Structure 1
């Protein structure tokens, strides 16, 4: 009787899941593994085992299923991870329910006496719930970390240059997004489900706690996340997979809110715990280490981030081989970080490998391939190879228009970055119309308050400034600053960047006194939020020095710029583009103060670095050489 019911149940379940978009296989043969069913969807795999006509759940069933999950994860390496569900009509003691939560295993009771369709629907709901949770965790990497990296303008010929970021591309992720269905209805459904299960299982059952974690994710509530974590730690234990998942969701939310130090601490904690629970080569452990590296980048701990990215890449190549989507992700992330460290030759080399790998794994027209292609173009921009950069940007834009359409966020990012490259070569007439069109499209597609729309306003203001329309640039930068203050708060890094760009616009207008005030306030806030040695803090400090120099307070300007150079060399190395720019800024301040010999000496050092990093015939190298010769 039990085998007959199991068969009918599994057939009904796989039919129902197939209608929901899952791929289901009964009794697959995968090496030594032969689960009752294997179902997959969007890169997430579930092993289903059934045990009917027994009195109580045995602990070794849970351990056996957990081992199957680990083996299946190693065998298939699904990009979304692997989980197990034990379906049984047996009694589940509270002790075993709590124990199962320590493993990537869920237990669901299903009596043969109940209506079959009702039981099947409950298991389908469980499958979708598990996928939502794991999809959200996985999305952190592919959204925040795998995308078109930000580009900054730091031109040797413009001593007042600021880091004007071009909006990052990728898979837009916010930790409160719901992957499937309408957000409001999903929230109500989860609330109802929590109430039902609380009445049946109690308020601290693992299923109830997991649902509370999903609700915290939807509401983007730090308080709810912390309450769930506290209860999970009390009832499930520190190394429960559910605890790790909830902590990961909280870390993502903290990062989204600009609380980078807290996010990094939490990512480091869950990364170490995941190594113990799943092993250092597991998909989840590598994802969490990847996210820890991303948090370090935001904190300015870029060298540590590069080391972690390199370690993740090495482990993924061991576990997955050289041609796997996750290897492409790791190559891209490492190259982006090396680019930020100024190791442009190495970054370009790894980007090229990532592009070759992505073309082999995904094909030439896959969105991932186009993202890596875009990032390679960004590295060429920073290396001063504008001809290659513009060619790649134009190619990427053309392909995204054809494949994704004109309104897709990735298409808009390509248009935006192409405009930036045009600005870098002084082609304002081509850059401004592209920036204006991108803003119009983002307003229509994303709305006025979307972060990418505000980035477009920011970039258009920078284009107006480059084109000499300073009043229009100031008005637009002021507008973006006010909107970001309203949406994100006055201390959010995006708001601080807007304040920084507004100060630069005032400087270019000749209002140096007002610029000094804005830069001084911005520097104080950057120090409070990110610390004294964060790259963005040092950019703000360098900009303050240039504004003070414009006020002809040369002694104070030289002190500020000298300290900026010293800190950048200590943080980034003497050949980093930002350190080279600081050397140029300090040299010009000495020259303007009448210290021509010291100015020429510093420009000589900057020229040597430019030759090594950019090449002897690069426009920036030539500009520095001519400036040094004029001082001799």
Structure 2
């Protein structure tokens, strides 16, 4: 099991269970312990529904044989609660942990290690369910108690500080999180060792969140320094060293250095294949990252081919029902949609949904995520009424399974509001976005990226309703906040500049809009890459505004260049390519008519 050969381990435990039942009896402690290990392995292998059933049966027998307060019974309850959460039954998981915590406090005491571990798990599931404020409060209280009981320098205390810093970052409080990681790093260097694994892990987290905060150059430097230490301490072929190289490649891609990023990934993949093997999980994960970067940079046809090859290998190595295999089917379906093969994408999502229901259960988070993606592509294919109906049903199920405040539930509300707006039900969309904004502000705070994204969507809906002046004001205020919180080069900040420029054009301020799009285009080429879909979208908008302002020759040239690039990247029949060709044909006809007159 530790070497990753989980299927063989399951078979071995099943045989051991049968033998121990025959020799010792079904109620012997060793037999029950074997059942616990077998159930845990079923969960690790992705057979979560079977694992939950196994733990429920085991728990009933432990209570009967050992008593409800026996340590093994409490451990089984903890394992069962964790699997309920992993299966998407988050509300049940939280309730199970709360009941377990009450019993552990009664039996073991509030300061027992097992009790504190349950508090840790409970706070973690609060975060997963969207109850971020409660999660942060839970970890702050746990940190105070661990500091009191174990001391400020104990490994569990330091680990709690790490988790709390990560939660602050996830809540959008990036400045606080970065400070917390910096302080933690100083203490780990003092208490543990500058090169201790936990210290290196904190340096990794600090570098990651520097990147997320928009300080990409600092993040790359931090990763490169970490990489030097890991190469010296662990060796160039250590999994940790290879993982850091992967993070550097990811940041290079995010900073717009796409060619360097792809080269870094390809070099990493070659080393992973040599060290770990071509079929190792990390090697397959790097191939996934390369395909994702190809898709994000606009090379969608190449991305589809890469995902198809990866999927074939995952089916062979991991099996068709493995979690990573199912995830690749998800990204492949999405790439098919991005390449304009909408009908194939919808079919792929429908087939994936059916398989996830069979393997994971209908309420598993990944199953619900596939329903969300299916609704998106139904809408993009023009089946907007079906998309709205699918999202309404998904919302109801997420409220039941995850809770009304869970992040995924809020995302579905966001998507539903967007499709309401696109279907012409703009007043309903505005109301839905306003209500969502209030809830995200309450749960996540005003500066969380999701809260800022909701403000962007609300401003868009205001513009769609004809309230263009209000939309421009909303986008301007949002842009100032995004620059402060996320940084000027963050993709969301750039997206808001695009929306603001578009709103200026719709309001008749065409010259200002053209200037705004030209400045944005220069920054997108620098930060994203020339072939990024958003860069191409800006070029399309700019060409349209040039035509609207009467600069027809410039507009024709811009559309011709855009058509060549979209044909190269997406193919001649992709929807974006066809739209560009139609715009160019119309514009050339308009120019011809003007010349004749």
- Report the TM-score when normalising by structure 1: 0.66
With over 3 angstroms needed to count, the CA separation of the structure-2 counterparts of 1:314 and 1:421, relative to structure 1, is: same
Deviations 1:568-609 (A, max 9, x none): 234444433222211210111122222223222222222222
Matched, 1:177 2:124: yes
Matches within 5 A, 1:241-280: 241-248=197-204, 267-280=223-236
Q: Which residue of 1 aligns with 2:161?
A: 216
Matched, 1:506 2:462: yes
Secondary structure of 1:211 counterpart: helix
Matches within 5 A, 1:113-262: 177=124, 208=154, 210-220=155-165, 222=177, 226-248=182-204
Runs of 5+ in structure 2 lacking a partner?
1-28, 46-70, 76-85, 87-120, 127-134, 169-176, 589-597
Q: Which residue of 2 aligns with 1:565?
A: 521
Matched, 1:373 2:319: no
Matched, 1:337 2:293: yes
With over 3 angstroms needed to count, the CA separation of the structure-2 counterparts of 1:358 and 1:438, relative to structure 1, is: same
Matched, 1:425 2:408: no
Contact 1:523 1:540 in 2 (8 A): yes
Alignment counterpart, residue 328 of structure 1, candidates 259, 277, 284: 284
Q: Measure, in 1, the Cα distance between the counterparts of 2:268 and 2:211.
A: 21
Q: Measure, in 1, the Cα distance between the counterparts of 2:242 and 2:123.
A: 23
Q: Measure, in 2, the Cα distance between the counterparts of 1:621 and 1:228.
A: 51
Deviations 1:64-121 (A, max 9, x none): xxxxxxxxxxxxxxxxxxxxxxxxxxxxxxxxxxxxxxxxxxxxxxxxxxxxxxxxx9
Q: Which residue of 2 aligns with 1:311?
A: 267
Alignment counterpart, residue 454 of structure 1, candidates 410, 423, 427: 410
Q: Measure, in 1, the Cα distance between the counterparts of 2:141 and 2:483.
A: 42
Q: Measure, in 1, the Cα distance between the counterparts of 2:189 and 2:531.
A: 47
Contact 1:416 1:456 in 2 (8 A): yes
Q: CA deviation at 1:290?
A: 3.0
Q: CA deviation at 1:294?
A: 4.5
With over 3 angstroms needed to count, the CA separation of the structure-2 counterparts of 1:254 and 1:538, relative to structure 1, is: closer
Q: Which residue of 1 aligns with 2:541?
A: 585
Alignment counterpart, residue 445 of structure 1, candidates 401, 406, 410: 401
Contact 1:274 1:280 in 2 (8 A): yes
Q: Which residue of 1 aligns with 2:479?
A: 523
Q: Which residue of 2 aligns with 1:605?
A: 561
Q: Which residue of 2 aligns with 1:385?
A: 341
With over 3 angstroms needed to count, the CA separation of the structure-2 counterparts of 1:436 and 1:299, relative to structure 1, is: farther
Deviations 1:238-268 (A, max 9, x none): 2122311344455667788998787666555
Q: Which residue of 1 aligns with 2:576?
A: 620
With over 3 angstroms needed to count, the CA separation of the structure-2 counterparts of 1:395 and 1:596, relative to structure 1, is: same
Q: CA deviation at 1:377?
A: 1.1
Secondary structure of 1:177 counterpart: helix
Matched, 1:360 2:316: yes
Q: Measure, in 2, the Cα distance between the counterparts of 1:188 and 1:15.
A: 37
Q: Which residue of 2 aligns with 1:348?
A: 304
Q: Measure, in 2, the Cα distance between the counterparts of 1:520 and 1:16.
A: 66
Secondary structure of 2:361 counterpart: coil
Q: CA deviation at 1:282?
A: 0.9
Q: Measure, in 2, the Cα distance between the counterparts of 1:479 and 1:551.
A: 27
User: Which 10-residue stretch deviates more, 619-628 or 300-309?
Assistant: 300-309
Q: Which residue of 1 aligns with 2:489?
A: 533
Q: Measure, in 2, the Cα distance between the counterparts of 1:224 and 1:559.
A: 41
Secondary structure of 2:298 counterpart: coil
User: Which 10-residue stretch deviates more, 233-242 or 185-194?
Assistant: 185-194
Q: Cα RMSD (Å) of the superposition?
A: 3.8
Alignment counterpart, residue 437 of structure 2, candidates 470, 475, 481: 481
Secondary structure of 1:460 counterpart: helix
Q: Measure, in 1, the Cα distance between the counterparts of 2:246 and 2:531.
A: 26
Q: CA deviation at 1:514?
A: 1.0
Contact 1:213 1:246 in 2 (8 A): no
Higher strand fraction (1 or 2): 1
Alignment counterpart, residue 472 of structure 1, candidates 424, 428, 437: 428
Higher helix fraction (1 or 2): 2
